[in-house]
Structure 1
């Protein structure tokens, strides 16, 4: 089904990903006033959530690296 240029679920997911990551190719966009207003709110919330997720992933990576360094230092201290 093609609804206002949105032919597939994949198009919708693609649009969300491109919008939230602020890449914004412009190849897919909301066509109605209601869609545009919705996207204004979605962009604000989506970017905020993406920032939180990226921050948490970064924290996990840093914590894992720090644990690895502590473990390596403890092994060096034992030798």
Structure 2
């Protein structure tokens, strides 16, 4: 089975064969010109960076929770693809 644990620094997915460390974040309304947020994530296997992305969100988030939720959606899609 796969153990999933959320830590202070991100999500850790570990199995005997590999260990993924996934970190994601978003800045709410970080762009001063259009008030859109930026999402970002990075994925590491055994401490080695294998995937990362930073992208301005298409929709203007109404709260920091909404911006973080959209960032988690982006990250989840990458995890599913990597799996």
Same fold (TM over 0.5): no
Larger radius of gyration: 1
Q: Which protein has the bigger strand share? A: 2
Give the TM-score of the pair, scaled to structure 2. Answer: 0.29
Q: Which protein has the bigger helix share? A: 1
